[in-house]
Amino acid sequence: MTPAERLILETLNREGVLPFDRFMELALYAPEVGYYTKATTQIGRKGDFYTSPSLHSLFAVLLGIQIEEMWVMLGKPNDFAFVEFGGGMGFFAKDMLDYLRQRPLYETINYVIIELNPYLIEAQKGVLKGHHAKTLWVRSISDVGSFRGVIFSNELLDSFPVCLIELKEKKLVELGVCLIDGKVSETTMPCRGEVLKYIEDFCPQMLDSGLYTEGYRTEVNLNIRRWLRECYEMLTEGFIITIDYGYSAAEYYAPERERGTLLCYFKHTVNEEPLINIGEQDITAHVNFTSLKRWGEELGLTTCGFASQGVYLVSLDLEQAIRHLYGENPDPFGIARLKGLLVPQGLGESHKVLVQYKGNEQPNLKGFQLSNRINAL
């Protein structure tokens, strides 16, 4: 039995039933024993899944080009903050700062990593030892205080705890967990009001259209709204860049997507069983980018653009990034690995990029010159 499973058993013995989002929160984030907070967490080739920074340094260099453009748009402030949620093993930060070291922005940038795992912080500090004067670690965005700059996340929102819902006898119910014969098991419970309100806002036809089959299951991510509000309150002027797996609401809640998007990653294998390997496997659900856009605009954010990762990255200065990494003699093997970032069969189409802006301008960003699919949201 894993330490996380033991904690959940104790919690269920005390409380009886947990909504799925509460179970997922404990499995992923319980201090010291959750998947993202334990000492043995590894991200990348040695972990349970790959991310874009672990595929190629070009990812961070291209984002560095984008950040430099945003810094110029903000008037080249000398107190510019770049805030990264969840720094992984620190490779993205190192690759970006290595690139920016040769640029004027490096003199004014403050690179802040929001990280809950103290063991990952130590790993990140080792990777970033050449940039200690530019880096700072905090536990939450409120610890940063008010700032101008950029908030960046890559595969963060898909790890937020989600509510699970299912159609049973033409009514929506929430799924939760309970103990049956001492084993963590699935159960049902009435939908909370905020979950029903979310469905009314983003997929009202699910409630009364007859298009959805018995047993249709999907996810509701309410934590995105809370996270976005916290970001908005701390950011006085600047941009929020979100890169993640996801769809528009229409795609996400299509009747044919009858099992939703919830997946678990364990040692580079995928399963749909969140109640096993508790605390030892990642649990994710895709992002409803329509909710991110709509909730942002309700707060007062401007939506700058929405595109697939591959098209977005190619829209930035690919030639400049390759020249920075390889000089005038590109490594053919290194160039071949770029495909994982850019092509639809890799992360180029599965991952989407949404950029939001707080301020008084109407930014026209280079990353959306080739494609801007805002209207799809």
Mean pLDDT for 259-266 is 96
Q: Is residue 320 part of a domain?
A: no
Q: Which segment, 206-210, 300-304, 360-364, is predicted with the most confidence on average?
A: 300-304
CATH number at residue 256: 3.40.50.12710
Q: Label residue 135 by pLDDT band (50, 70, 90).
A: very high
Whether residue 270 has pLDDT greater than 50: yes
CB-CB contact of 54 with 43 (8 Å)? yes
41 within domain boundaries: no
Show the domain range for 254.
52-160+221-298+327-337
Whether the predicted model's global pTM rises above the 0.85 cut: yes
List pLDDT tens digits, range 281-299.
999 999 999 999 999 999 9
Question: What is the pLDDT at residue 329?
Answer: 66
66 neighbors 239 (Cβ within 8 angstroms): no
Using 50, 70 and 90 to split pLDDT, how confident is the model at 154?
Answer: very high
Instruction: Please name the residue that has the structure tokens 């996801």.
Output: 246
The model's confidence at residue 338, banded by pLDDT at 50, 70 and 90, is low
* 166-221 per-position pLDDT tens digit: 999 889 999 999 999 999 999 999 999 999 999 999 999 998 878 999 999 999 99
Q: How far apart are alpha carbons 200 and 197 in whole angstroms?
A: 5
- Asked if residue 343 is part of any domain, the answer here is no
**153, part of any domain:** yes
Find, among 304, 324, 370, 316, the residue nearest to 65 by Cα.
316
| Mean pLDDT for the stretch of residues 124-132 | 95
Is the pLDDT assigned to residue 52 strictly greater than 80?
no
| Cα 351 from Cα 53, distance rounded (Å) | 13
The count of structural domains within the chain is 1
- Residue 324's alpha-carbon distances to 105, 106, 109, 312, 333, in angstroms, are 16, 16, 20, 19, 16
Q: Does residue 233 carry a pLDDT above 90?
A: yes
Between the alpha carbon of residue 96 and those of residues 131, 200, 245, 263, 293, the distances in Å are: 11, 41, 22, 30, 27
Q: Is residue 169 part of a domain?
A: no
Residue 199 maps to a domain: no
pLDDT at residue number 47: 47
158 with 287: CB under 8 angstroms? Answer: yes
3-class SS at 6? helix
Q: What is the CA radius of gyration of the chain?
A: 21
Is 254 inside a domain boundary? yes
| Burial class for 58, CB neighbours closer than 10 Å (0-12, 13-18, 19+) | buried
